[in-house]
Structure 1
Amino acid sequence: MSQFLQALKVQRWDDHRYYHHSRINQSLHLLSAISFLVAYAFLFIQPPVAALIAWLVSMVSRQSGHFFFEPKGYDEVNQATHEYKEEIKVGYNLQRKVVLMAVWAGLPVVLWLQPDFFGLLEAHTQPSGYVLNVGWLWLWLGVGGLAFRVLQLAVSQSLYTGIVWATKIITDPFHDILLYWKSPLYLLQGELIAKPEYLLEERAEHEAELARQQG
């Protein structure tokens, strides 16, 4: 278990240090995390409503931060190019996210043309029914997207890596709130990008913690 938690911590740290320099991106992740927790609660009440919240609020805010606000130039702090970071990313890099979001946007169109979604759903007769059916499709897309990437990682790296990544994704909302709750305050102070010295300090603390655990 300790080895699993260690691998989880490494994946979380790599994700944070490579892809979350923008304070706007961090703040949007805070909004995303809070709305994801609301969606988690609705999973036990109305699963399609949970999916609507997760995709329309959580995912849109989260991915907007990555696509529009996160720097794409050379990462001086980590000494890495954007292309390198995209290549080594464990989860969905920007290219994979484009495909995922295209499917997400296309599903309501397909449902409008095929109200029973090729016999898999009860055809809607009212607008509310259509909205809930969209929610069901997006719920399946979320589960399918998670499972698909786990299988990809199992083939390209290992099933263990895939399971660690899936655990990270599911628990990210809790972790992101702890990590980014101060980000809106930094934004109010006019800090759009985390200061290099702040990022270097974070890296030193992380490396010191890893050394203590391994020692």
Structure 2
Amino acid sequence: MKSFLQDLAQQRWDDHRYYHHSRINQSLHLVSALCFIAAYGLLFTDPASAALLAWGVSMTTRQSGHFFFEPKGYDTVNRATHEHKEDIKVGYNLRRKVVLMAVWALIPLVLWLAPSFGGLTEPAADFKGFLHALGMAWLCLGVAGLVFRVGQLTVQQSLGVGLVWAFKIITDPFHDVALYWRAPGYLLRGELIDPMDHARRG
């Protein structure tokens, strides 16, 4: 358990110091985290709506922060190139995220053109039914994406690394709220980039 917690802390620290320099990205992560927490609550009563909220709001805000606002140049804080950080990223780096988000974006089109989703579900009778089917498909994508990356990490590194990463991803919303709740305030004061003094000392 001690080793698990140490590895978890290290993955969280690396994720923060390498990929969350932008105050806009941090603020979007706060919005994303709050929506994910709401989606976790919905998961027990309305899984389809939970997935629509998680993918439609939480993931789009979270990933737009990474794609559009996070600096991609040389990281002077960590003395690392963007390419190096992408290579050592434990979870989904930007290349993998492009694939994941492309699949996410294609699912509504596939579901619209093939309402039975290849015979996996009953065709929706109306738009509400379509949204329900879409939510369930996105929920399956989320689970599949999690399991797939755990499998990759198990082959590439170890099962322990994969399980730590999975736990980190599931609990990230709670951790992000604690980490980034001040970010909007800094952003309103005109600070676009976190100076990361704590990372320089670390």
Per-residue deviation, 1:99: 0.3
Which residue matches 1:192? 192
Structure 1 partner of 2:141: 141
Consecutive unaligned residues in structure 2, runs of 5 or more = none
C-alpha displacement at 1:119, in angstroms?
1.2
Once the two structures are TM-superposed, the CA of residue 203 in structure 1 deviates from its matched residue by 4.8
Kindly tell me the number of residue pairs found equivalent between the two proteins. 202
Q: How far apart are 1:202 and its partner, in Å?
A: 3.9
Separation of aligned partners in 2, 1:109 and 1:44: 27
Separation of aligned partners in 2, 1:34 and 1:201: 25
Specify the code of the residue in structure 1 equivalent to 2:68. Answer: F
Report the counterpart of residue 8 of structure 1 in structure 2.
8
Match of 1:164 in 2: 164
Retained in 1: the 8 A contact 2:77–2:200? no
Q: Distance in 2 between matches of 1:194 and 1:160?
A: 32
Paired with 2:176 and 2:147, the residues of 1 have a C-alpha distance of 22
One-letter amino acid of the structure 1 residue matched with residue 198 of structure 2: E
What are the residue-to-residue correspondences of 1:9-88 with 2, within 5 Å? 9-88=9-88
Cα RMSD for the two superposed structures = 0.8
Alpha-carbon separation, structure 2, partners of 1:106 and 1:171: 27
Q: Provide the C-alpha distance between the structure 2 equivalents of 1:36 and 1:103, rounded to a whole number of angstroms.
A: 20
Q: CA offsets per residue over residues 42-69 of structure 1, 9 Å max, x none?
A: 1001001000000010000000000000
Structure 1's unaligned 5+ residue stretches are 208-215
Q: How does 1:166-181 map to 2 (within 5 A)?
A: 166-181=166-181
1:93-108 equivalences under 5 Å are 93-108=93-108
Give, in whole Å, the separation in 1 of the partners of 2:46 and 2:155.
Answer: 34
Q: Distance in 2 between matches of 1:29 and 1:129?
A: 30
Inter-partner Cα distance in structure 2 for 1:139 and 1:33: 17
Measured in 2, the distance between the counterparts of 1:76 and 1:203 equals 9
State the percentage of identical aligned residues.
66
The residue that corresponds to 1:201 in the other structure is 198
In 1, Cα distance between the equivalents of 2:11 and 2:127?
42
The CA distance in 2 between the partners of 1:109 and 1:51, in whole Å, is 17
Distance 1:16 1:135 in 2: 30
CA contact (8 A) 2:47 2:136 kept: yes
Cα pair 2:36 2:173 within 8 Å, conserved: yes
Amino acid at match of 1:8: L
Q: Could you state the TM-score of these two structures normalised by the residue count of structure 2?
A: 0.98
Correspondence 1:121 to 2:160 = no
Give the structure 2 partner of residue 111 of structure 1: 111
- How many Å separate the matches in 2 of 1:190 and 1:129? 44
Q: What are the Cα deviations for residues 63-107 of structure 1, in whole angstroms up to 9, with x where unaligned?
A: 000000000000001000000000000000000000000000001
